[in-house]
Every structure is written in C-alpha cells, then in structure tokens.
Amino acid sequence: MDCDNERLVTLLARSAQGDRQSFASLYQQTSAALYGMCLHLLRNKDEAQDVLQETYIQVWHNAGEYHADRGTPITWLMSIGRYRCLDALRRRRHHVDFDQVASVKMSEDAGPMERADAQLDRQRLSDCLKDLDERYRSTIEMAYFRGFTHQELAVAMGQPLGTTKSLVRRGLSVLRRCLGS
C-alpha cells in the first residue's frame, strides 16, 4: 500500500472514531476527485455539490465499514459517490412521454392504424423497460436516454469497460426478447 492510501486509511479509521479533524483532512484530500466524478455524471453543478455533501455525510456515518482488504479508500469513496449519483439520477429521471415525442415526429399522413400500432409499440417498450433488472435498465437508460458512452458508463459504474459493455449487450438482449414476445 502506498503512502497516500495508508494516510487515507488512517484518516478513515480516525473519522470512524469521531475525529472531526481527520474527517476534514480526508475531505480536503479526496473531495476534488469525488466532485469531478459527480459533476461528470450529473452534469449539473448544484446537484453535484448536493450529492457530494450526501456522500460525505454517508462516509462520516459509515467510515467504520471501510475494509482495506476490499480496495483502496478512494475506490470506496468513489463507489459511495457513484451510488449517490445514481440515486440522484433516479430521483430526477423524467419519465419519457412517448406520446408527446411520437406526435412531434409522426407524419401528418399517418392513419389511425399506424398511430394505434405506434402507441402499442411505445407502451410495450415502456413496459419492457420497467420489467428489466435494475442493472440493465440503468445502463440502457444512461446509454440511450442520457447519451453516456460505454467508457463513461464504466467510470460511472466503477467497473471494467468490458463488464459494462456486457451489461448493455445483455440488457438489450433481454429487452429484444421482451419486445419480441
């Protein structure tokens, strides 16, 4: 373990014991990286600051749960921050109004049968998305509704790029099967 990790482990251990100075030092040494990640995921300064605060509140209350054998302190902190960002994205997630989108894009020449078919397709897509496992749904929504690249998804989810691509691919496969039935 390098010097920075050892110092962060010590600061976390002291924070777990209620040492406010150690917590302040932990914040000073790690908050820029966490804020950058929050800002990247949320794309909103105010919301990123709120999530950063929520993250450090959780760290303060749960610092004793950190285990050095499971990863570095910064990885643990980033994981907490990432989950807080995903929670914030879920809270603010706007339900896509497929009817409104369709009415803008739908040709004026479309007849009642075409409109009825399109409505059924939108409803089936919405239902299938709701039925997807949360891991698949969140990756698909972040990739296709929020425009995240696979690399950005990997960073946001704190996992390797290959794993992230597999989640997207498997999620789309499950979605295709649902839509095909």
Domain ranges of the chain: 3-92, 107-180
Tens digits of residue pLDDT in 39-60: 988 889 999 999 999 999 999 9
The pLDDT assigned to 177 comes to 87
Query: Could you give the CA distance from residue 70 to residue 31 in angstroms, rounded to a whole number?
Result: 21
Of how many residues is the chain composed?
A: 181
**Domain 3-92 belongs to what topology?**
Rna Polymerase Sigma Factor; Chain: A (1.10.1740)
Tens digits of residue pLDDT in 140-163: 888 877 777 888 888 888 888 898
Q: How confident is the model at residue 108 (pLDDT cuts 50, 70, 90)?
A: low
**Distances, alpha carbon 67 to alpha carbons 60, 78, 146, 156, in Å:** 15, 14, 34, 22
Residue 143 phi, psi (nearest 5)? -75, -45
**Domain 107-180 belongs to what topology?**
Arc Repressor Mutant, subunit A (1.10.10)
24 or 69: which leads in pLDDT = 24
